[in-house]
Amino acid sequence: MKQLLSLTLIFILFYAELSAAEGVVVVVANKDNQMKVLTKKQVIDIYMGRTTLFPNGEAALPLDQNSDSSIRKLFYQNLVNKTVSEINAYWARLLFSGRATPPRMVESVTSVINIIKNNKAAIGYIQLEDLTDDVQVITYVD
């Protein structure tokens, strides 16, 4: 019985550590951006091209991480329960119809943070471990 309890405890601790390491946060521009909180639905609307504005009416510039990055896969899986292939197909249809423009692709976490730090309209996602004082968290997507 003790062995089973110990194994269960180890599994729970391992899972909690793994989940924390994979945490995703959504961040907005520099500290001057007036949006302090976004709901998951509002993030979906911005990232799926349904709106180009924050709820307060200011422009929103969504940033997407490199198409091969694990954070991008995790972000879209957690946000809209879709694979990167499904997201790419979604955007191909919208681009063909001319109805929306996909988020701007950036190459690295450093690029995401630098763009956000210097552009009040930018919004991006990073892993919790990459969070710096240059950006503010507005919602968690996990």
97-102 average pLDDT score: 89
Note the pLDDT tens digit of each residue in 20-45. 446 788 887 677 888 889 999 999 99
Phi, psi values for residue 35, rounded to 5°: -75, 120
The reported pTM is 0.81
Instruction: Tell me the domains of the chain and their CATH numbers.
Output: 23-140 (3.40.190.10)
Contact (CB, 8 A) for 141 and 40: yes
**pLDDT reading at 90 higher than 50:** yes
pLDDT at 74: 94
Within the chain, residue ranges assigned H as helices are 2-21, 40-47, 70-80, 84-97, 109-118
Determine the number of helices (DSSP H) and then strands (DSSP E) in the chain.
5, 5
